[in-house]
Amino acid sequence: MIHKPSAEEATELKWRRSSYSSSGDGNDCVEVASAPTTVNVRDSKDHLGPHLGFTPTTWEAFVTYTSER
C-alpha cells in the first residue's frame, strides 16, 4: 500500500534510519516507522512524500528473507 501522509501524520510517526543504509553523502537511505498495525517505509530524502505500508507479518517475512541472503 502506498500512502501520501499529511504533514501532521508524517511527524507523528517515529522514523528510524537503517544502520545499513549509507552512501557518500549519507542521504541515500530508507527510514522505518512502526505503528500498531503497520510498518511504514519511506525515502529519507522526502519526509513528506509517500511511504509504503506493510503488515507486521509481511515486514517480518521481508526482513527474514533479506537477512538470509
- pLDDT in single tens digits along all 69 residues of the chain: 556 655 545 558 898 987 766 655 656 788 999 988 999 999 888 888 888 999 999 999 998 998 877
**Distance between CA 25 and CA 46 in Å, rounded?**
15
Q: Where are the domains of the chain?
A: 2-67
Instruction: Using DSSP, state whether 42 is helix, strand or coil.
Output: strand
pLDDT for res 17: 84
